[in-house]
Structure 1
């Protein structure tokens, strides 16, 4: 059992859907990762700038108050030192300030209860005493640290800054200042910046996805069109071989059969006229099938010229005058003689019109009517072939016009497919509308020549 290459199940490869799913996944991952990285960068940058400003402030106070001796144990605490620490504790948004000596002992704190204590398990303090400016942020309850005692509500967001204190002359680290801040305005700015980053990233992701979707949709249409043309080319190649064999093997015998039937029809023997007429009718039908196969299998040449539709329509209708009279079907032409010219080939258009009229005649019963109307709309000329025949069932409409599909008992299924092919070759389209029990309308949208 044959399957399509590269697809074991034989089903068509869903290029657009799969590509969009992969694109959506990649864009979503990139959007989330970039938003997280940018949010963290923004938060870290703003907190670092705030900490640097705090460090400069503390260093300036230590230098002005000449407090290096106090940190080195060469000076007792006095009013000036107390004032220094109060300056630090009174900085904006400061909830607590702790001052540590080189030995990690708490020299002073805005919380008097913990002055003099020593917190050995404090790696951040150790790094600060090694000369590094550290910043930590979070909620009070998220960090189980002894110095957090009595800091406040566990849901409060804080910034913990460890500021190394250096000796002015030597630059040696002589202590550290730990500051707990509750910077509501800073956190509000960070939150707003993160919201802007996420919204911008999501919008950019949607725009990128929309652009990708447009390109993929176009690529999918091109691929489907190329596949359709490839199938059509393969079909036409097979049809060409079949049609040539059929034409060679059948047309000459058909001509002989019809000639014999004509002679028989002209004879004076009673009762033979109707039988001879039936033979000629069936021979003509077989000849028409062979002609349609040959025409459909041959490549169409793009020899387009500016054509006036009314003369071609009238000529086509005239060729069906005897057939319409025999079937008792009236053909009405409602076309303005001033219709603008269209671009096409007269022989091919004549064949397309003949096929449509022939189909309408077969679908319309005695006493019926076929109306051919035309109008100029924008850059196109609309040409409609309407009959009041039996119509087409809704479940069959999707297949109407496909090669070898026919709703007629004795149809071949290439007539309407040939019409589509001819009109499409000249840059037009075919639209079929039908209601069961009411009739069918086939509308050709043909490009104007200018």
Structure 2
């Protein structure tokens, strides 16, 4: 038989899928942004370094070679070569070349390459058109096949190849190209550091964003579940209210007639016939009590908050059960410390909640009697005030304890099962909660927790 899916399953699947999809989306965005930013950073650093080098070479040439020079004159080439020899001796420069407009290598710091014509070099072709060209890679990598790379070291260091157009100072026409083949260790370190920082920042931002989304979704899921429970409870209360009103209207008058007839029978009957009349009257009282509990549970209470002193309310509630306590031979111990701060609650609802708890504690006592402890304490660090009602009754088993606050679940033969549900609802509406601890044969401790009133 297939399992029927529940609303909680749908909510769990929705949350799980949302978190999974958000994780995939954040990973894709983080990786893509890190890759794009790393590439942009690398290109910008290489471009800026190439522009500075180009400006340096061209300014020196215009100063050293004067206006109107041409690389067709050997003297000009020698003067340029003398300058480039100093450039080639710099720590990060591996080779310097000078090309004519027909791609012939006029001069090179590697003498074995001079005099050759190097066609099929797209970077050189673009530089001869006046563009500053940059080529980057690893020495000995895929660029090793280029002829001008012969006789270089086999190190896998990063190289930067610059093709700098040489322009006539007067006509601004391209008269040649200077190729600087560099292995910039400092620039490479800066690129690696920037790339690592970019990836770490992107990954860290993605993780932070995912953590924030996870927290928001978890919190939203809890709020949705809580609101769903309240909505179900509200709908249940509305239905109960209508039902209770109909029951009260339709049953109270017949019950009153039954009770009156039973009382008359009780007064007129002989002693041996009075017991059935007494049973009828007791059952009528029990039905009327159920109707009152239904009306109380289903009616919308007044949840207006006010500063309420718990001490006097606890004392009045205990006094109200004095006769019942004496009849059942139950002693009660009251512990309310002086100077107890006010709580954020409502006096009428707090009285109703305490009466329910004390009544439950009395009914849980064995026939031989017992002891009930009503204690109040405060926690200034959390602004919480706790009211505990502890009895020495028979206690509650684990299975029953897990369901004890469900509407219409009760362990009492004549109970309706709305008392603890109503108490918990009152506590939570005022920002507090209800905690129950119990074990078979060890009694039950019920704690109402409220927030202290704002001062």
Please give the range of the TM-score, normalised by the shorter of the 2 chains.
0.7 to 0.9
Q: CA deviation at 1:356?
A: 1.2
| Structure 2 equivalent of residue 122 of structure 1 | 121
* Distance change (3 Å), C-alpha of 1:348 and 1:253: farther
Q: CA deviation at 1:184?
A: 0.6
Q: CA deviation at 1:129?
A: 0.7
CA distance in structure 1 between the aligned counterparts of 2:8 and 2:342, rounded to whole angstroms: 46
Q: CA deviation at 1:187?
A: 0.7
- For normalisation by structure 2, the TM-score amounts to 0.85
CA distance in structure 1 between the aligned counterparts of 2:277 and 2:247, rounded to whole angstroms: 24
| Structure 2 equivalent of residue 375 of structure 1 | 377
Alignment of 1:352-363 (within 5 A): 352-363=353-364
| Structure 1 equivalent of residue 405 of structure 2 | 401
- Cα deviations by residue, 1:392-439 (Å, 9 ceiling, x for unpaired): 333444433232233444432211111122233444322222234322
CA distance in structure 2 between the aligned counterparts of 1:134 and 1:362, rounded to whole angstroms: 94
Q: For the aligned residues, what is the CA RMSD?
A: 3.3
* Distance change (3 Å), C-alpha of 1:395 and 1:111: farther
Structure 1 contact 304–343 (Cα < 8 Å) conserved: yes
CA distance in structure 1 between the aligned counterparts of 2:44 and 2:120, rounded to whole angstroms: 28
CA distance in structure 1 between the aligned counterparts of 2:293 and 2:284, rounded to whole angstroms: 14
* Distance change (3 Å), C-alpha of 1:97 and 1:440: same
CA distance in structure 2 between the aligned counterparts of 1:403 and 1:429, rounded to whole angstroms: 16
| Structure 2 equivalent of residue 50 of structure 1 | 49
Q: CA deviation at 1:388?
A: 2.4
Alignment of 1:396-435 (within 5 A): 396-435=400-439
Question: SS at 1:13's partner residue?
Answer: helix
* Distance change (3 Å), C-alpha of 1:316 and 1:268: farther
Question: SS at 2:434's partner residue?
Answer: strand
Q: CA deviation at 1:68?
A: 8.8
Q: CA deviation at 1:94?
A: 0.6
Alignment of 1:266-285 (within 5 A): 269=270, 277-285=278-286
- Cα deviations by residue, 1:311-369 (Å, 9 ceiling, x for unpaired): 43344334434444454433332334654444544443332222212222233323332
* Distance change (3 Å), C-alpha of 1:161 and 1:407: farther
Q: CA deviation at 1:207?
A: 4.1
- For normalisation by structure 1, the TM-score amounts to 0.85
CA distance in structure 1 between the aligned counterparts of 2:303 and 2:209, rounded to whole angstroms: 40
Q: Unaligned 5+ residue runs, structure 1?
A: 1-6
How many residues align? The count is: 445
* Distance change (3 Å), C-alpha of 1:428 and 1:131: same
Q: Unaligned 5+ residue runs, structure 2?
A: none
Question: SS at 1:446's partner residue?
Answer: strand
CA distance in structure 2 between the aligned counterparts of 1:408 and 1:180, rounded to whole angstroms: 94
CA distance in structure 2 between the aligned counterparts of 1:363 and 1:279, rounded to whole angstroms: 25
| Structure 2 equivalent of residue 104 of structure 1 | 103
Q: CA deviation at 1:105?
A: 1.6
CA distance in structure 2 between the aligned counterparts of 1:341 and 1:55, rounded to whole angstroms: 80
Alignment of 1:40-189 (within 5 A): 40-66=39-65, 72-75=71-74, 80-140=79-139, 141-143=141-143, 144-189=145-190
CA distance in structure 2 between the aligned counterparts of 1:154 and 1:341, rounded to whole angstroms: 80
